[in-house]
Amino acid sequence: MTEGQNLSGQKFSGQKHSGQMVFGLDIGTRSIVGTVGYKDMSGDRFYVVAQRVKEHETRAMLDGQIHDIHKVAVTIRQVKEELEAAVGIPLTDVCIAAAGRVLRTVNVSVENEYGSDREITQEDIYELTTMGVERAYEQFQTQDSDADMKFYCVGYSVVHYYINRYPMSNPEGHKARVMGADMIATFLPDDVVDGLYKAVELAGLHVANMTLEPIAAIQVAIPEMYRMLNIALVDVGAGTSDISITKDGSVTAFGMIPIAGDALTETIAQHCLVDFGTAEKIKREAAVSGEIAYKDIMGLSQTISKEELLEVVDPVIQSMAVQVSDKIKELNGGKAVSAVFVVGGGGKLEGYTDRLAQELGIQKERVAVRGEEVMQSVEFLEDNVVKDSLLVTPIGICLSYYEQSNNFIFAFFNEQRVKLFDNSMLAVVDAAMQAEFPNEGLFPRRGKELNFTVNGKARIVRGQLGETAQIHVNGREADIHTPIHNGDKIEVTPSTAGEAAAMELGDLPEFGSVISVTVNEKRVDLPKFASVNGQLQSRYYDIKENDAIELLNYYTVRQIADFMDVLVDKNLHVYVNNKQAKMDTYVYENFSVEWTMKPPELSGGYALGGTPGSTAGGSIPPGQDTDALRTDEDIGEWDSYAEDDWKEDGDENGSEGGLDSLPEMAAVSGEQPEIGLIPEPADIFSGQAAAEPPKPPMALAVIVNGKPIAMTGKPSYVFVDVFDYIDFDLSKLHGSSVVTLLNGRQAQYMETLSNGDKIEIYWKK
């Protein structure tokens, strides 16, 4: 005598057998079948230690769904107690299956990339299939149109495995960088699952595994060696006909129609005027007897022949065959399968398989009820057990435990009871999702982001991160990845949002650069301006949502004057790159700006030049700002002041250094005074700047951009004179800036030229 264990680890003893004991319940519409058995050490044979069947005393189940939980629980307990007496041990854990009422299926593909070749283990395969189930669940939730119904995954099947994206029937032991799988997952509504769980719990049992009846049946009816063929399995129960399809070595689809054996029984009950239980007995006796005797509800004895009974139920059989045939074709890509295996009691009625073959358009020999033929690897340790199609699904429920372990656990999330599909990898985040706790409540939330554009390109500034969620499992500090188990209490204090994003204009990386220009031979660095929604703003401007920011790479002449605190006068003459310009002319990087002021006509009308701080080459009146160009009123006042002062040093008509001599003196001085160091008029007439005779015109030869140029007509030449002898358009922008080099170095526009100088002038791209 040997010992084994049941699902909960308890010992049992009995006949000669060993292995992990499995208790399975087929909770059907008409009856409950309990099976206790185990696989041998090789895993090739399944031994049924004991099996018990108990019919419902009332119609507590309809179409595969429990309607009276307490009555079903009573029947389950009766089956459990009978099996405990037979095997000699208490049974606490059980495997169950659900009929496919309102069944939904999802096809999904998943991959795991490992980075380098590694040997695939069973753990890798389990991780991949678990990922597939979770992916299918996510996909199902997005596609499900029944927003008011909650569904659970109750079974899955791998259609194909892939190793490095090539098909592989069994990846274990192979080396791969990438392992993938095509899978099909099945889902049932919450009320179906909850009803089964509640009935089992009331009977004193805990669900160890849950699957679908078509998945369970296929474990027995279509061995793996046959799944390369395109076969349909139809499990005709009392309330539903569950369908599964195999092809290319895998189960490829599941389906269901809500019509089966009970539809036949109800038709017989109406025809014979009997209750449902009596009609069920008439249906069963028709399979073994040519004439059936019964009493109707009036107490009268009646008989009905098998031929009459088949004629009565023929329309129902026809309807069942048509619906099953249509569903098979739908699941099989619009075409019939090669063969159909029929299991379950509802398919045993004569004529059903022939009608189904006719509707599918295949030979009638290829549609057959399967029982003992598919249970060659099943051995019953009790005597007088008939291997028939009724036992296929109950045994398959037990075998499903070895193939996949599907179960649900219950946990409390912020005092809300949630039910979770147990994939052995459940964590706090799974409970949060099931409780419909918002994602933003788990993760630190950023404050509102700031969206704007810079030079037409979108820019986003993220808000500050808030505080992370405070999570505790059973009173201990945890995080979203902390594993959870049945009965765990999870408490989550939601995360908070951080401060909204904020940025000043000056914080933009582009804002810190400058535009360098030359103003009256002096280099000036101008900070870049920014235009916001068409208006100029300072660096301290707070950027607002959807602002359109333009960082300008130019100044206008007027903006340069404003920046340098230069007052603009109507007599101001402006030159940009030696070309006459206006106050709104654009000035780009490395451009030159020259401005001069022509005062009202003096004797001789000579134009005076000056730098910022000079007044057209004249002196600044005492107490005046030397950095400003004077207005008309300033000039008029100064002219009057200067004329009176100079007359004191000369005769009344100004013959010895008065206004008449000013143009000549300024023209021949040959010097530009520094800002704020312009000599007073008394210095000009003190004899420090002696008059020199005018110089005759001369010719000058220079090389510009590799070509010799002859310059004529002037006594001397400065750099900007070159532009009079070359074709170089400064009126339009042809690059980011103009490069001007003299003998290989940066040139100054008013720099004196000499014979042989080498000059380069070009646009910088």
Residue 425: which of 737, 57, 133 has the closest Cα?
133
CA 626 to chain centre: 65
Which tens digit of pLDDT belongs to each residue from 66-77?
A: 888 999 999 999
Could you give the 3-state DSSP secondary structure of residue 327? helix
Span 292-315, mean pLDDT?
91
Q: What is the pLDDT of residue 561?
A: 85
Between helix 213-221 and helix 392-403 the angle, nearest 10°, is 100
What topology does CATH give the domain 226-364? Nucleotidyltransferase; domain 5 (3.30.420)
Question: At 85, is the secondary structure helix, strand, or coil?
Answer: helix
Contacts with 441 (C-beta within 8 Å, 6 or more apart), sequence order? 432, 469, 492, 494, 495
Mean pLDDT across 502-521? 84
- Structural domain boundaries in the chain: 1-223+377-405, 226-364, 429-493, 505-684, 698-764
Class of domain 698-764: alpha beta
- pLDDT digit string (tens) for 211-244? 877 778 888 888 777 888 899 999 888 878 888 8
How long, in residues, is the chain? 765
pLDDT at 653: 40
Mean pLDDT score, 735-739: 80
Would you call 215 helix, strand, or coil by DSSP?
A: helix
Query: What is the percent of the chain with per-residue pLDDT over 90, rounded to a whole number?
Result: 22
Q: What are the tens digits of pLDDT across the range 399-457?
A: 888 775 556 677 889 988 887 777 667 889 888 888 888 877 887 878 888 999 988 88
Strand order in the sheet with 476-478: 416-422, 407-413, 489-493, 470-473, 476-478
- Take residue 293 and report the two structure tokens written for it: 């005797």
pLDDT-derived band of residue 340, with 50, 70 and 90 as boundaries? Answer: very high
290-299 pLDDT, tens digit each: 889 999 999 9
CATH of 1-223+377-405, one of 3.40.50.300, 3.40.980.10, 2.40.30.10, 3.30.420.40: 3.30.420.40
Q: Using 50, 70 and 90 to split pLDDT, how confident is the model at 661?
A: very low
Higher pLDDT, 439 or 111: 111
State the pLDDT at residue 492.
93
Question: What Cα–Cα distance (Å) separates residue 135 from each residue in 108, 110, 598?
Answer: 7, 8, 82
Strands 3-5 and 11-13: antiparallel
Q: Of 444, 438, 432, whose CA–CA distance to 480 is shortest?
A: 432
Output the six-digit token pair for 164: 């490095």
pLDDT in tens, 142-191: 776 555 667 777 667 788 899 998 888 889 999 999 999 998 888 877 77
Tell me if 317 sits within 8 A of 350, measured CB to CB.
no
Full strand arrangement of the beta sheet holding 758-764: 707-714, 698-704, 758-764, 737-742, 745-746
Beta strands in 362-465 (DSSP E): 367-369, 378-380, 407-413, 416-422, 450-454, 457-461
**Fold match flag (1-223+377-405 vs 698-764):** no
Q: Give the pLDDT of residue 376.
A: 79
- pLDDT at 90 > cutoff 50: yes
Which strands, in side-by-side order, build the sheet including 572-576?
A: 522-527, 514-519, 592-597, 572-576, 579-581
With CA atoms as reference, report the closest residue to 618 among 659, 578, 652, 648. Answer: 659
Residue 74 pLDDT? 93
Return the CATH number of the domain spanning residue range 505-684. Answer: 3.10.20.30
**Model confidence at 758, in pLDDT bands (50, 70, 90)?**
confident
Element (H, E) at 545: none
- Provide the whole-model pTM: 0.50
> How many angstroms separate the CA atoms of 33 and 38, rounded?
16
Residue 357 pLDDT greater than 90, yes or no: yes
Which residue, 347, 369, 356, 364, is CA-closest to 318? 356
Residue 108 token pair: 């999904």
Residue 387 has pLDDT above 80, yes or no: no
Average pLDDT of the chain is 78
Give CA separation, 569 vs 517, 556, 635, in Å. 21, 16, 10
pLDDT of residue 145: 56
What digits encode the pLDDT tens for the residues 665-685?
Answer: 333 333 333 333 333 333 333
Query: How high is the pLDDT of residue 350?
Result: 83
Q: Token pair for residue 409? A: 């656990």
With a CB cutoff of 8 Å and minimum separation 6, the contacts of 382 are 48, 49, 50, 51, 86
Mean pLDDT of 623-637: 37
Detail the DSSP E strand segments found in 138-258.
151-163, 166-168, 175-189, 206-212, 231-236, 241-247, 250-257
pLDDT at 451: 93
Can you give the pLDDT at residue 553? 79
Residue range 605-622: mean pLDDT, rounded:
35
Q: Are strands 457-461 and 104-119 parallel, antiparallel or unpaired?
A: unpaired
pLDDT at 352 over 50: yes
The residues near 281 (Cβ < 8 Å, ≥ 6 apart) are 294
Q: DSSP 3-state assignment of 517?
A: strand
Q: How confident is the model at residue 3 (pLDDT cuts 50, 70, 90)?
A: very low
pLDDT, residue 189, reads 78
**Which is more confident, 345 or 352?**
352
Helix, strand, coil percent content, the chain, rounded in steps of 5: 25, 35, 40
Percentage, residues of the chain above pLDDT 70: 81
Question: 685: phi > 0 → left, psi -120 to 50 → alpha, else beta; which?
Answer: alpha
CA distance 289 to 535: 100
With 70 as the cut, is the pLDDT of residue 617 above it? no
- For 27-46, how does the pLDDT look when each residue is reduced to its tens digit (9 = 90+)? 888 788 999 999 887 777 88
